[in-house]
Structure formats: C-alpha cells, structure tokens
C-alpha cells in the first residue's frame, strides 16, 4: 500500500484516538498530606500559578491496603478527537511530534496532565504520576 493511500485511509477512518494507563489509587483509609517541593511539581508539569492549589496525598499503609498505601486503580486517559486540523496534517504526512503539538494547541490533555489532575484531586500520589507517565514535550 502506498504511503499516501494509507494516510488517506487513516484520516478518513479514524474519529478518535485514546490511550489509557491504570494508576494506583491512594488508600482512603490511611492517606495523609505529603509535602512535595513546589519545584518538583513545576518540573512534573504543574503550571507555576497553580502549584499552591495542589495538596498531594500519600498512603502510609494500613490493614485495608496491606501496608502498601494504595487500594484500587484509577484510569489515566489521553483522548484526541480527529480534529479537521489533525486530519489535514495526517494527509500531508506530518510526523507524530507535529501532530502532538497541534493536538495540545487544540486543547487535548496529555497523559501527564490527566495524571496531574488526579494528583490535584487527591486520588493518586506524586510518585504514581511519575511512574505512570512521561514528561510532556
């Protein structure tokens, strides 16, 4: 199959692209605030003006979570609708880095951003954010 033909097939057939990871959920029975340096949060991808809104949690370990500090899983997602701009880029033969930049410009949240939201909500730990995701370009 010729490259242009396959790009045309992808561009016309795909409506949405999604990726998922399962992160560990902080145990609700033994979770407590964890002091993460502001600079570490910023380096992980938190906007400097939002850093003070983060109250990070960690599990200390208890009989409910078998002393792990985690109980259950939480989905971390990246969902990219096939915007017309992305469709045109695929047809033009754009590389993945270019498509990623454009999708972020269009408002698609990366896996790291999704995980950081779970951190902000107190659902998972900073350690788990770093374990499950890679830093955004």
Burial-class residue 113 by CB neighbours within 10 Å (0-12, 13-18, 19+): middle
Superfamily of domain 3-132: P-loop containing nucleotide triphosphate hydrolases (3.40.50.300)
Structural domain spans, the chain: 3-132
- pTM, whole model, 2 decimals? 0.83
What are the DSSP calls for 38-94, one per residue? Answer: HHHHHHHT--GGGGGG---EEE---TTTTTSSEEEEEEEEEEEE--HHHHHHHHHT-
Beta carbons of 135 and 112 less than 8 angstroms apart: yes
* pLDDT 10s digits, 92-133: 888 989 999 999 999 999 999 999 999 999 999 999 999 999
* pLDDT 10s digits, 73-95: 999 999 999 999 999 998 888 89
């Amino acid at each position: 199959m010729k490259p242009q033909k396959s790009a045309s097939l992808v561009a016309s057939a795909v409506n949405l692209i999604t990726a998922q990871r399962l992160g560990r959920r902080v145990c609700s029975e033994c979770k407590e605030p964890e002091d993460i340096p502001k600079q570490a949060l910023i380096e992980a991808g938190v906007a400097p003006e939002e850093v003070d809104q983060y109250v990070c949690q960690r599990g200390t370990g208890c009989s409910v979570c078998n002393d792990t500090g985690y109980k259950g899983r939480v989905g971390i997602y990246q969902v990219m609708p096939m915007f017309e701009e992305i469709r045109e880029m695929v047809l033009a033969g754009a590389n993945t880095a270019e498509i990623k930049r454009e999708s972020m410009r269009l408002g698609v949240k990366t896996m790291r951003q999704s995980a950081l939201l779970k951190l902000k909500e107190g659902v998972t730990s900073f350690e788990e954010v770093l374990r499950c995701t890679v830093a955004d370009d």
